[in-house]
Structure 1
């Protein structure tokens, strides 16, 4: 799969809007750290018992 140029441009537009929204949020530092964090489960986190 190769990404088309139009898809790249569309993604840049969306990313720009999302970044502006995050920057304007009062808790932007916390939100930025949350979005950068990796998903992980602890020893007692059982995926089959999680409710989403």
Structure 2
């Protein structure tokens, strides 16, 4: 690590690109955002099939 600024950027990127996408969130019904989006996508596919 060269300096504080580089360390800050690396930690910020980790939190925003990995950690926040896999940790559970209360607004996602205590699911990770990735899992919630997969569930929603499956729901939309099933609804489209039913609608014809």
In the superposition, the TM-score normalised over structure 2's length comes to 0.40
In the superposition, the TM-score normalised over structure 1's length comes to 0.40
Higher helix share: 2
